[in-house]
Amino acid sequence: MNETGLVDKLAVITGAAQGIGRAIAEEFRAQGTRVVIADRNADIGKKTASEIGAEFVTIDVTDSASIAHAIAHVTAAWGPIDIWVNDAGVDINADAEAMTDDQWDTVIGVNLTGTFLCCREVAKVMIPRGSGAIVNIASMSGIVSNHPQPQCAYNASKAGVIMLTKSLAGEWAPRGLRVNAVSPGYTRTAILDSVEKIQPEWTKLWFDDTPMGRAATVSEIANVVVFLASDKASFMTGSNVVVDGGFTSW
């Protein structure tokens, strides 16, 4: 475990109250990392934190003042932040010609702008220390246009996260920061389960189009995130690691 360099490090994970974010938090805890769950849903977030032995802080990733306040609170309460994972995200399925301005702004605001704001604010405390690892959760939807669901805003936002990751990695590497991304494919979460009940024809097509024939487990995504944050990935920055069961290999 000590080879990962994660023991007693401090990791903050946005959107970690449930789903992939929670699995990431659990895997960090398994590696001996101190974890702070940063989420705007305080009820679920505090419950999750209590269950896995983590701390909790309220955050709105679309509000730079909220992010700065959360970072200041974490630093004062638990010490310097070593790792930051941007997992908070939303998706709205809407036909492009019918998508409203508010729907577009919501998706881009959380997924892309929110990721940038968090990166910018945490870099302000990492750069003076000369070290830090940031992992952004992108998506295979930033590489391919998914079907049959209409989600142009989501696809565009995640493509932006991938390029943002590369841009920040090059800019901040000389100052000791590493910035990488993970692009999950379809992953077995409560959201996917609900889609499977409502739109089973969608999930059948998704799995049929995945060479491995199934969705990822949340732990399969979490393992890659934790690796990128660890010393074992010390020469990796600007990478986008696709974990999609082969979906984008066709």
Residue corresponding to tokens 């799995």:
207
**Which is it for the CA torsion 62, 63, 66, 68, positive or negative?**
positive
Q: Which of 88-91's residues contact partners 24+ apart within 8 Å by CB, and which partners?
A: 88/14, 88/15, 88/21, 88/39, 88/59, 88/61, 88/114, 89/15, 89/137, 91/151, 91/154
Rounded Cα distance between 178 and 169, Å, is 6
* Stretch 97-116: mean pLDDT: 98
What is the number of other CB atoms lying within 10 angstroms of the CB of residue 197?
8
pLDDT at 1 over 60: no
**Which domains can be identified in the chain, with CATH numbers?**
2-186+217-235 (3.40.50.720)
Active-site pick, 154, 172, 206, 247: 154
* Stretch 31-47: mean pLDDT: 97
Please report which confidence band the pLDDT of residue 160 belongs to, taking 50, 70 and 90 as the band edges: very high
Active-site residue 154, yes or no? yes
| 125, amino acid identity | V
3-state secondary structure of 179: strand
Closest CA to 182 of 237, 101, 240, 222: 240
Q: Give, as one character, the DSSP assignment of residue 112.
A: I
pLDDT per residue as tens digits for the range 178-211 = 999 999 999 999 999 999 999 999 999 999 999 9
**pTM score over 0.95:** yes
Query: Which residues are CB-contacts of 101 (< 8 A; sequence separation ≥ 6)?
Result: none
pLDDT at 2 over 70: no
Q: Where are the beta strands (DSSP E) in the chain?
A: 10-14, 34-39, 55-58, 83-86, 132-137, 177-184, 240-243
Residue corresponding to tokens 């638990």:
78
pLDDT at residue number 3: 82
